[in-house]
Chain A
């Protein structure tokens, strides 16, 4: 997550002349580029690590229907089957981050070393990096909203590593987490 924030801020400073002031925060354009490149490598590595670390939970078979998924994500009264460690929305989010994150990584590396692809393909790399970032940004707005304001008790799961029993019962009824 920290890598993502650093990447987003350095990337914005580099992308848009309107946001160029952000580069001063990181010590100038050249430093912003360097930080962006190496943080990007960290981002690729951690995206792969987290996805494969939790692969079992991402691929755990769920019995939720599409209607359940929508009601769980957007509504308050969820009537579908109880979720395990990851509910349906989290699994979908996980796949999205994995795929979009890898696209950002691949296009980013192509932008860092632009001489290895054909000219036309290289030009599309710039566009894809930008377009996928916009998708990512939309995902993050939703993710931050759902993880903080929309579902009280969730943020501490990331900041502290634990959640309350009541929260676990309501949101992840079929989860067998350890009691602390």
Chain B
């Protein structure tokens, strides 16, 4: 688990830089928008960024430093909606990883994430890399070699730390005593845990994060409903067939009538008008 202690963050953005360095991500050409926050948004080549939240409270200016990054949920919206088996997986360290080899560029994950994190690249990466979704991997490759994620290794103040999730209750207790709130996505049980000094919305985080309702209905509810509907439909037709049975056209139906289409025998009628 990665613990983000916002009370210790100085917004040096060493984490942002280390992430780019480790993952070989290019810089983003940008303009000065009047503050230190840069780039303006996450992207296919920006997996994490520091967010500078300025606000006025009680006549004072407050400057809260937050992070926009993948929360590595235990019950991840992106994994739920991905149509390709193996393209988004959970690894043993709790990381949720997109495998660009298998990604088909459908963008379901972009819309399935409660935190709005995955970003799609249409054309910027060369050749194979384009038309895929990208996000933080929690340095799954580093973790696999027994190393800490790049951002946690580089943080100079200890705002970002890497530890076992089993230690969360102790971390939470200590944070609460210091007057901070613990933010771990409620039912999503994220493997990135924020310790906040204010409401989540002040940091740009959703207040009540959850799998979005239509996504939940789509991916969790509709599957058994669909199977049940199919089975019941087939059973109903079989039941009808063995009880009421087919509507046969019988010999006695060829009775004389005043229809203009009269004629002996069983000639054909077509439907071209």
A residues with a Cβ closer than 8 A to B are 14-17, 20, 29-30, 33, 74-76, 85, 114, 119-120, 122-124, 126-127, 130-131, 133-134, 137-138, 141-142, 145, 149-153, 157, 161-171, 175-180
Give min CB distance, A22 to chain B, whole Å: 11
A120 to B213, CA, bound (A): 9
Give min CB distance, A81 to chain B, whole Å: 15
Contact with A along B219-236 (1 / 0, CB 8 A): 000110110011001100
Residue B178 interfacial (CB < 8 Å): no
Chain A at the B interface: SS class = helix
Give min CB distance, B50 to chain A, whole Å: 23
A-B pairs, 3 with minimum CB distance: A141-B233, A162-B268, A123-B214
Give min CB distance, B149 to chain A, whole Å: 28
CB nearest neighbor in A for B245: A76
Q: Which of A76, A131, A152 is the one whose CB lies under 8 Å from B244?
A: A76
Q: Contacts of B223 on A, CB cut-off 8 Å? A: 16
CB nearest neighbor in A for B217: A127
Q: Which of B106, B226, B241, B270 is the one whose CB lies under 8 Å from A177?
A: B270
Q: Which of B83, B240, B269 is the one whose CB lies under 8 Å from A29?
A: B83
A180 to B272, CA, bound (A): 10
A127 to B222, CA, bound (A): 8
Residue B212 interfacial (CB < 8 Å): yes
Write 30 A-B pairs (CB below 8 A) sorted by A numbering. Answer: A16-B223, A17-B85, A20-B83, A33-B106, A75-B244, A76-B247, A119-B111, A122-B111, A124-B214, A126-B214, A130-B222, A138-B230, A145-B241, A149-B246, A150-B240, A150-B246, A151-B247, A161-B272, A162-B271, A164-B249, A164-B268, A165-B254, A165-B269, A168-B269, A170-B249, A170-B253, A175-B269, A176-B261, A177-B271, A180-B270
Q: Contacts of A16 on B, CB cut-off 8 Å? A: 223
Contact residues, B178-224 vs A (CB, 8 A): 212-215, 217-218, 222-223
Total interface residues in chain B, CB < 8 Å: 52
Q: Contacts of A114 on B, CB cut-off 8 Å? A: 107, 110-111
Contact of A141 with B269 in the complex, beta carbons under 8 Å: no
What's the count of A-B pairs with C-beta under 8 Å?
155
- Given contacts A76-B244, A138-B229, A141-B230, whether A177 and B261 have CB atoms under 8 Å apart is yes
Contact of B245 with A165 in the complex, beta carbons under 8 Å: no
Residue B81 interfacial (CB < 8 Å): yes
Contact residues, B104-158 vs A (CB, 8 A): 104-108, 110-112, 116
Contact of B104 with A74 in the complex, beta carbons under 8 Å: no
Contact of B269 with A123 in the complex, beta carbons under 8 Å: no
Residue B266 interfacial (CB < 8 Å): yes
- Given contacts A29-B83, A74-B240, whether A164 and B229 have CB atoms under 8 Å apart is no
CB nearest neighbor in B for A135: B229
Residue B60 interfacial (CB < 8 Å): no
- Given contacts A33-B104, A161-B271, A163-B269, whether A137 and B246 have CB atoms under 8 Å apart is no
